A and B are shown apart, each in its own frame.
Chain A
Amino acid sequence: MNFNATLIGQSITFAFFVWFCMKFVWPPIMNALEARKKQIADGLAAADRGKHELELAAKAAADNMRDAKVQAADVLTQAEKRAAQIVEDAKIAAKAEGERQLAAAQASIEQEANRAREGLREQVAQLAVAGAEKILRREVNAQAHADLLNQLKAEL
Chain B
Amino acid sequence: MSGEAHTSGEYIKHHLQNLVFGQHSDGTWGVAHSAAEVKEMGFWSINLDSMAIAIGLGLLLMFLFRLAAKQATTGVPGGLQNFVEWVVEFIDGSVRGSFSHQNAMVAPLALTVFMWVFLMNFMDLLPVDWIPHTAGALGVPFFKVVPSTDPNVTFGMSLTIFALVLFYSTKMKGPGGFFAELAFQPFPKFLFPVNLLLEGVGLIAKPISLSLRLFGNMYAGEMIFILIALMFGGNILLGVFGGVLQWAWAVFHILIITLQAFIFMTLTIVYLDMAHSEHH
**A interface, CB within 8 angstroms of B:** 1-11, 13-15, 17-18, 20-22, 24-33, 35-36, 39
A25 touches B69 (CB 8 A): yes
B41 touches A22 (CB 8 A): no
User: Which B57-84 residues have a C-beta within 8 angstroms of A?
Assistant: 58, 61-62, 65-66, 68-70, 72-75, 84
B111 touches A21 (CB 8 A): yes
> B58 — which chain A residues lie within 8 A by C-beta?
13, 17
In the assembled complex, the Cα of A28 lies from the Cα of B65 at a distance in Å of 10
Closest 8 CB pairs of A and B: A10-B156, A32-B72, A6-B152, A22-B108, A26-B108, A28-B69, A21-B108, A6-B47
* Min CB gap B225→A, angstroms: 19
> B108 — which chain A residues lie within 8 A by C-beta?
18, 21-22, 25-26
A11 touches B157 (CB 8 A): yes
Residue from B18, B20, B41, B159 within 8 A of A7 (CB atoms): B159
Q: How many A-B residue pairs have CB under 8 A?
A: 127
What are 10 A-B contacts with C-beta separation under 8 Å?
A: A5-B46, A6-B51, A6-B156, A10-B153, A11-B157, A15-B160, A25-B69, A28-B72, A29-B65, A32-B72
* Min CB gap B136→A, angstroms: 21
A4/B85 contact (C-beta < 8 A), A9-B156, A17-B62 known? no
In the assembled complex, the Cα of A32 lies from the Cα of B111 at a distance in Å of 17
Count of residues in B whose CB is under 8 Å from the partner chain: 50
A29 touches B68 (CB 8 A): yes
> A25 — which chain B residues lie within 8 A by C-beta?
62, 65-66, 69, 108, 111
Tell me the nearest residue of chain A to B92, going by C-beta.
Answer: A30
A26 touches B156 (CB 8 A): no
* Min CB gap B255→A, angstroms: 25
User: Which B157-182 residues have a C-beta within 8 angstroms of A?
Assistant: 157, 159-160
User: In this assembly, does B112 line the interface, its C-beta being within 8 Å of a C-beta of chain A?
Assistant: yes
A4 touches B42 (CB 8 A): yes
Residue from A13, A18, A29, A31 within 8 A of B55 (CB atoms): A13
> A39 — which chain B residues lie within 8 A by C-beta?
74
Render B134-167 as a binary contact track against A, CB cut-off 8 A, 1 for contact.
Answer: 0000000000000000111101110110000000
A5 touches B65 (CB 8 A): no
A6 touches B88 (CB 8 A): no
Could you tell me the dominant secondary structure of chain A's interface residues? helix
> A7 — which chain B residues lie within 8 A by C-beta?
152, 155-156, 159
In the assembled complex, the Cα of A35 lies from the Cα of B55 at a distance in Å of 33
In the assembled complex, the Cα of A65 lies from the Cα of B84 at a distance in Å of 56
A32/B74 contact (C-beta < 8 A), A10-B152, A11-B160, A25-B69 known? yes
B46 touches A9 (CB 8 A): yes
B111 touches A3 (CB 8 A): no
Given contacts A2-B39, A5-B46, A39-B74, 11 further A-B contacts (CB under 8 A): A1-B151, A7-B156, A9-B51, A10-B54, A21-B108, A22-B108, A27-B69, A29-B68, A29-B85, A32-B74, A35-B74
A24/B66 contact (C-beta < 8 A), A18-B108, A29-B84, A29-B88 known? yes
Interface centre among A7, A9, A25, A33 (most CB of B within 10 A): A25
In the assembled complex, the Cα of A2 lies from the Cα of B150 at a distance in Å of 9
Tell me the nearest residue of chain B to A5, going by C-beta.
Answer: B46
* Min CB gap B244→A, angstroms: 32
Residue from A14, A20, A22 within 8 A of B160 (CB atoms): A14
User: In this assembly, does B126 line the interface, its C-beta being within 8 Å of a C-beta of chain A?
Assistant: no
In the assembled complex, the Cα of A5 lies from the Cα of B156 at a distance in Å of 10
Residue from B44, B51, B72, B109 within 8 A of A18 (CB atoms): B109
In the assembled complex, the Cα of A9 lies from the Cα of B84 at a distance in Å of 27
